[in-house]
Protein backbone atom coordinates (compact mmCIF):
# COMPACT_ATOMS: atom_id res chain seq x y z
CA UNK A 1 0.00 0.00 0.00
CA UNK A 2 1.23 3.44 -0.92
CA UNK A 3 0.41 6.38 1.29
CA UNK A 4 -0.82 9.35 -0.69
CA UNK A 5 -1.16 13.06 -0.01
CA UNK A 6 -4.11 15.03 -1.33
CA UNK A 7 -3.08 18.07 -3.35
CA UNK A 8 -4.96 21.22 -2.34
CA UNK A 9 -5.23 24.21 -4.66
CA UNK A 10 -4.50 27.67 -3.31
CA UNK A 11 -5.95 29.18 -6.47
CA UNK A 12 -8.30 27.72 -9.09
CA UNK A 13 -8.77 29.22 -12.56
CA UNK A 14 -11.50 27.93 -14.87
CA UNK A 15 -12.13 30.73 -17.36
CA UNK A 16 -9.92 33.19 -19.24
CA UNK A 17 -11.69 36.30 -20.54
CA UNK A 18 -8.77 38.23 -22.03
CA UNK A 19 -5.07 37.71 -22.69
CA UNK A 20 -3.26 40.34 -24.73
CA UNK A 21 -0.45 42.84 -25.15
CA UNK A 22 -1.13 46.30 -26.48
CA UNK A 23 0.75 49.57 -26.88
CA UNK A 24 -1.33 52.63 -25.96
CA UNK A 25 -0.46 56.09 -27.25
CA UNK A 26 0.58 58.83 -24.84
CA UNK A 27 -2.83 60.52 -24.93
CA UNK A 28 -4.88 57.34 -24.44
CA UNK A 29 -7.63 57.36 -21.82
CA UNK A 30 -9.58 54.19 -21.03
CA UNK A 31 -13.13 55.11 -20.02
CA UNK A 32 -13.39 52.42 -17.36
CA UNK A 33 -15.33 49.23 -16.65
CA UNK A 34 -16.53 46.86 -13.96
CA UNK A 35 -17.03 43.10 -14.36
CA UNK A 36 -17.50 39.96 -12.31
CA UNK A 37 -13.99 38.52 -12.75
CA UNK A 38 -10.38 39.38 -11.93
CA UNK A 39 -8.17 41.49 -14.16
CA UNK A 40 -4.42 42.03 -14.02
CA UNK A 41 -2.51 44.90 -15.66
CA UNK A 42 1.27 44.68 -15.99
CA UNK A 43 3.28 47.61 -17.35
CA UNK A 44 6.00 46.46 -19.74
CA UNK A 45 6.99 49.93 -20.88
CA UNK A 46 5.98 53.53 -20.12
CA UNK A 47 3.70 54.67 -17.31
CA UNK A 48 -0.02 54.87 -16.53
CA UNK A 49 -2.28 56.26 -13.84
CA UNK A 50 -4.87 53.77 -12.58
CA UNK A 51 -7.98 54.43 -10.52
CA UNK A 52 -9.57 51.41 -8.83
CA UNK A 53 -12.69 52.40 -6.91
CA UNK A 54 -11.38 54.99 -4.44
CA UNK A 55 -7.67 54.15 -4.91
CA UNK A 56 -5.34 55.99 -7.30
CA UNK A 57 -1.95 54.62 -8.35
CA UNK A 58 0.84 55.59 -10.70
CA UNK A 59 2.38 52.53 -12.35
CA UNK A 60 5.62 52.40 -14.31
CA UNK A 61 7.56 49.63 -16.07
CA UNK A 62 7.79 46.47 -13.97
CA UNK A 63 4.75 47.23 -11.79
CA UNK A 64 1.51 45.27 -11.65
CA UNK A 65 -2.02 45.74 -10.30
CA UNK A 66 -4.88 43.29 -9.69
CA UNK A 67 -8.49 44.42 -10.03
CA UNK A 68 -10.91 42.32 -8.00
CA UNK A 69 -14.38 41.42 -9.33
CA UNK A 70 -16.82 44.34 -9.63
CA UNK A 71 -14.12 46.91 -8.95
CA UNK A 72 -14.72 50.04 -11.03
CA UNK A 73 -11.36 50.63 -12.71
CA UNK A 74 -9.84 52.78 -15.44
CA UNK A 75 -6.48 54.10 -16.55
CA UNK A 76 -4.82 56.71 -18.70
CA UNK A 77 -1.31 56.94 -20.12
CA UNK A 78 0.96 59.47 -18.40
CA UNK A 79 4.12 61.09 -19.69
CA UNK A 80 5.12 61.81 -23.28
CA UNK A 81 5.71 58.22 -24.37
CA UNK A 82 3.37 55.37 -25.20
CA UNK A 83 2.76 52.57 -22.70
CA UNK A 84 2.96 48.86 -23.48
CA UNK A 85 0.70 46.78 -21.26
CA UNK A 86 0.16 43.07 -20.74
CA UNK A 87 -3.40 42.42 -19.56
CA UNK A 88 -5.22 39.24 -18.66
CA UNK A 89 -8.55 38.60 -16.95
CA UNK A 90 -9.93 35.39 -15.53
CA UNK A 91 -12.26 33.74 -13.03
CA UNK A 92 -10.26 32.95 -9.94
CA UNK A 93 -11.12 31.25 -6.67
CA UNK A 94 -9.07 30.13 -3.71
CA UNK A 95 -7.80 31.01 -0.27
CA UNK A 96 -5.11 33.38 -1.54
CA UNK A 97 -7.40 35.61 -3.62
CA UNK A 98 -7.89 37.87 -0.59
CA UNK A 99 -4.11 38.30 -0.46
CA UNK A 100 -3.97 39.98 -3.87
CA UNK A 101 -6.96 42.29 -3.45
CA UNK A 102 -5.81 45.91 -3.85
CA UNK A 103 -2.29 44.62 -4.56
CA UNK A 104 -0.06 47.07 -6.42
CA UNK A 105 3.62 46.24 -6.50
CA UNK A 106 6.92 46.15 -8.34
CA UNK A 107 7.73 42.57 -9.26
CA UNK A 108 10.66 41.14 -7.35
CA UNK A 109 13.31 38.77 -8.73
CA UNK A 110 11.20 35.62 -8.40
CA UNK A 111 8.02 37.22 -9.75
CA UNK A 112 9.96 38.77 -12.64
CA UNK A 113 11.26 35.32 -13.57
CA UNK A 114 7.70 33.96 -13.74
CA UNK A 115 6.49 36.93 -15.81
CA UNK A 116 9.47 36.64 -18.17
CA UNK A 117 8.80 32.93 -18.79
CA UNK A 118 5.08 33.65 -19.24
CA UNK A 119 5.66 36.33 -21.88
CA UNK A 120 8.36 34.30 -23.63
CA UNK A 121 5.98 31.36 -23.86
CA UNK A 122 3.23 33.56 -25.33
CA UNK A 123 5.60 35.15 -27.85
CA UNK A 124 6.84 31.73 -28.96
CA UNK A 125 3.23 30.61 -29.32
CA UNK A 126 2.58 33.66 -31.51
CA UNK A 127 5.09 32.33 -34.01
CA UNK A 128 3.78 28.75 -33.90
CA UNK A 129 0.13 29.81 -34.18
CA UNK A 130 0.86 32.71 -36.56
CA UNK A 131 -0.68 35.36 -34.32
CA UNK A 132 0.34 38.62 -35.95
CA UNK A 133 -1.85 41.03 -34.00
CA UNK A 134 -4.44 43.40 -35.40
CA UNK A 135 -5.46 47.06 -35.34
CA UNK A 136 -6.35 47.03 -31.63
CA UNK A 137 -4.02 44.50 -30.05
CA UNK A 138 -0.33 43.94 -30.61
CA UNK A 139 -0.92 40.32 -29.67
CA UNK A 140 -4.13 38.59 -28.55
CA UNK A 141 -3.98 34.94 -27.47
CA UNK A 142 -7.43 34.44 -25.94
CA UNK A 143 -8.80 32.66 -29.04
CA UNK A 144 -6.40 29.77 -28.37
CA UNK A 145 -7.85 29.01 -24.93
CA UNK A 146 -10.71 26.80 -26.19
CA UNK A 147 -8.94 25.35 -29.22
CA UNK A 148 -5.66 24.32 -27.59
CA UNK A 149 -5.95 22.52 -24.25
CA UNK A 150 -2.19 22.38 -23.70
CA UNK A 151 -1.94 26.13 -24.27
CA UNK A 152 -4.81 26.90 -21.91
CA UNK A 153 -3.31 24.73 -19.18
CA UNK A 154 0.09 26.39 -19.58
CA UNK A 155 -1.55 29.82 -19.32
CA UNK A 156 -3.45 28.94 -16.16
CA UNK A 157 -0.28 27.44 -14.70
CA UNK A 158 1.67 30.65 -15.31
CA UNK A 159 -1.13 32.82 -13.91
CA UNK A 160 -1.43 30.60 -10.84
CA UNK A 161 2.31 30.73 -10.23
CA UNK A 162 2.35 34.50 -10.64
CA UNK A 163 -0.61 34.98 -8.29
CA UNK A 164 0.89 32.69 -5.64
CA UNK A 165 4.27 34.43 -5.62
CA UNK A 166 2.65 37.88 -5.49
CA UNK A 167 0.29 36.84 -2.69
CA UNK A 168 3.35 35.96 -0.62
CA UNK A 169 4.73 39.47 -0.95
CA UNK A 170 3.82 42.14 1.58
CA UNK A 171 4.83 45.01 -0.70
CA UNK A 172 2.16 47.44 -1.80
CA UNK A 173 2.79 50.80 -3.41
CA UNK A 174 0.28 53.63 -3.04
CA UNK A 175 1.96 56.08 -5.34
CA UNK A 176 -0.33 59.10 -5.72
CA UNK A 177 -0.42 61.45 -2.75
CA UNK A 178 -1.43 64.83 -4.17
CA UNK A 179 -4.43 66.87 -3.00
CA UNK A 180 -6.64 65.96 -5.97
CA UNK A 181 -6.03 62.24 -5.42
CA UNK A 182 -6.99 62.61 -1.78
CA UNK A 183 -10.19 64.46 -2.70
CA UNK A 184 -11.04 61.82 -5.31
CA UNK A 185 -10.45 58.95 -2.88
CA UNK A 186 -12.54 60.53 -0.12
CA UNK A 187 -15.35 61.39 -2.56
CA UNK A 188 -15.57 57.83 -3.91
CA UNK A 189 -15.49 56.46 -0.37
CA UNK A 190 -18.33 58.85 0.54
CA UNK A 191 -20.33 57.67 -2.48
CA UNK A 192 -19.81 54.01 -1.54
CA UNK A 193 -20.85 54.66 2.06
CA UNK A 194 -23.96 56.49 0.87
CA UNK A 195 -24.78 54.31 -2.11
CA UNK A 196 -28.46 54.26 -1.10
CA UNK A 197 -28.63 58.02 -1.71
CA UNK A 198 -28.29 60.23 -4.78
CA UNK A 199 -26.30 63.17 -3.39
CA UNK A 200 -25.71 66.26 -5.48
CA UNK A 201 -22.23 67.52 -6.34
CA UNK A 202 -22.77 70.29 -3.79
CA UNK A 203 -23.66 67.79 -1.06
CA UNK A 204 -20.56 65.68 -1.73
CA UNK A 205 -18.31 68.75 -1.79
CA UNK A 206 -19.83 69.97 1.48
CA UNK A 207 -19.31 66.58 3.15
CA UNK A 208 -15.63 66.68 2.15
CA UNK A 209 -15.26 70.37 3.08
CA UNK A 210 -13.98 71.28 -0.41
CA UNK A 211 -15.31 73.47 -3.19
CA UNK A 212 -17.37 72.07 -6.04
CA UNK A 213 -14.67 73.17 -8.50
CA UNK A 214 -11.99 71.29 -6.54
CA UNK A 215 -14.16 68.19 -6.49
CA UNK A 216 -14.83 68.38 -10.21
CA UNK A 217 -11.13 68.97 -10.93
CA UNK A 218 -10.21 65.80 -9.04
CA UNK A 219 -12.71 63.73 -11.05
CA UNK A 220 -11.62 65.30 -14.32
CA UNK A 221 -8.05 64.31 -13.46
CA UNK A 222 -8.48 60.78 -12.12
CA UNK A 223 -11.83 59.57 -13.44
CA UNK A 224 -11.95 61.54 -16.69
CA UNK A 225 -15.68 61.99 -16.11
CA UNK A 226 -18.02 64.19 -14.08
CA UNK A 227 -18.87 63.56 -10.45
CA UNK A 228 -22.51 62.64 -11.18
CA UNK A 229 -21.50 60.34 -14.04
CA UNK A 230 -19.09 58.53 -11.74
CA UNK A 231 -21.80 58.15 -9.10
CA UNK A 232 -24.10 56.56 -11.68
CA UNK A 233 -21.30 54.19 -12.76
CA UNK A 234 -20.69 53.24 -9.14
CA UNK A 235 -24.41 52.54 -8.61
CA UNK A 236 -24.55 50.39 -11.74
CA UNK A 237 -21.47 48.47 -10.59
CA UNK A 238 -23.06 47.88 -7.19
CA UNK A 239 -26.35 46.87 -8.84
CA UNK A 240 -24.60 44.30 -11.02
CA UNK A 241 -22.85 42.81 -8.01
CA UNK A 242 -26.10 42.58 -6.02
CA UNK A 243 -28.05 41.14 -8.95
CA UNK A 244 -25.38 38.48 -9.52
CA UNK A 245 -25.89 37.42 -5.89
CA UNK A 246 -29.55 36.66 -6.66
CA UNK A 247 -31.07 39.75 -5.04
CA UNK A 248 -34.33 40.81 -6.71
CA UNK A 249 -34.52 43.81 -9.03
CA UNK A 250 -37.04 45.42 -6.68
CA UNK A 251 -34.74 45.08 -3.65
CA UNK A 252 -31.71 46.36 -5.57
CA UNK A 253 -33.73 49.37 -6.71
CA UNK A 254 -34.66 50.16 -3.12
CA UNK A 255 -31.13 49.64 -1.81
CA UNK A 256 -29.73 52.09 -4.34
CA UNK A 257 -32.30 54.79 -3.60
CA UNK A 258 -34.27 54.78 -6.86
CA UNK A 259 -37.82 56.05 -6.66
CA UNK A 260 -39.26 53.05 -8.50
CA UNK A 261 -38.24 49.71 -9.96
CA UNK A 262 -39.17 50.89 -13.46
CA UNK A 263 -36.95 53.98 -13.13
CA UNK A 264 -34.04 51.84 -11.92
CA UNK A 265 -34.55 49.30 -14.72
CA UNK A 266 -34.57 52.05 -17.36
CA UNK A 267 -31.41 53.62 -15.89
CA UNK A 268 -29.65 50.26 -15.73
CA UNK A 269 -30.53 49.35 -19.30
CA UNK A 270 -29.43 52.80 -20.52
CA UNK A 271 -26.04 52.54 -18.79
CA UNK A 272 -25.33 48.82 -19.11
CA UNK A 273 -27.05 47.93 -22.38
CA UNK A 274 -29.21 45.17 -20.89
CA UNK A 275 -32.05 44.84 -18.41
CA UNK A 276 -31.28 44.06 -14.75
CA UNK A 277 -33.57 41.01 -14.88
CA UNK A 278 -31.30 39.53 -17.58
CA UNK A 279 -28.26 39.89 -15.27
CA UNK A 280 -30.13 38.34 -12.35
CA UNK A 281 -31.21 35.31 -14.38
CA UNK A 282 -27.81 34.59 -15.92
**Where is 16: in which H helix or E strand?**
strand 16-24
Average pLDDT over residues 179-188: 93
Domains and CATH numbers, the chain: 16-167 (2.60.120.10), 179-280 (1.10.10.60)
- Which pTM does this prediction carry? 0.87
Give the pLDDT mean for 16-22: 95
- pLDDT tens-place string over residues 65-114: 999 999 999 999 998 999 999 999 999 999 899 889 888 889 999 999 99
Q: Is the pLDDT of residue 137 over 80?
A: no
pLDDT tens-digit map of 106-127:
999 999 999 999 999 999 998 8
Per-residue b/e over 125-157, b at no fewer than 16 CB within 10 Å? bbeeeebeeeeebbbbbbebbeebeebbeebbe
pLDDT digits 0-9 by tens, 202-211:
999 999 999 9
Q: At 39, which helix (H) or strand (E)?
A: strand 38-45
Q: Determine the average pLDDT of the residues in 248-268.
A: 89
- Mean pLDDT value across residues 50-56: 90
pLDDT, position 268: 87
By percentage, how much of the chain surpasses pLDDT 70?
A: 94
Residue 280, H or E segment: helix 276-280
In this predicted structure, what is the pLDDT of residue 61?
Answer: 94
How far is residue 178's CA from residue 175's CA, in Å, rounded to a whole number?
Answer: 9
Amino acid sequence: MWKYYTVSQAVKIERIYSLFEHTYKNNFNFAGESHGFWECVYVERGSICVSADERVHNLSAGEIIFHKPYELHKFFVTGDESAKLFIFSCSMEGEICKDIENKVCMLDKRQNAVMKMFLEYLHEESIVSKINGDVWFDKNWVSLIETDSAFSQMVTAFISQLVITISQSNIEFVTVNDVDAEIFSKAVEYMKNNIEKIPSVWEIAKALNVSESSLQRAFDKYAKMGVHKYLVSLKMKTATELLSQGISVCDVSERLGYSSQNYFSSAYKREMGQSPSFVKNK
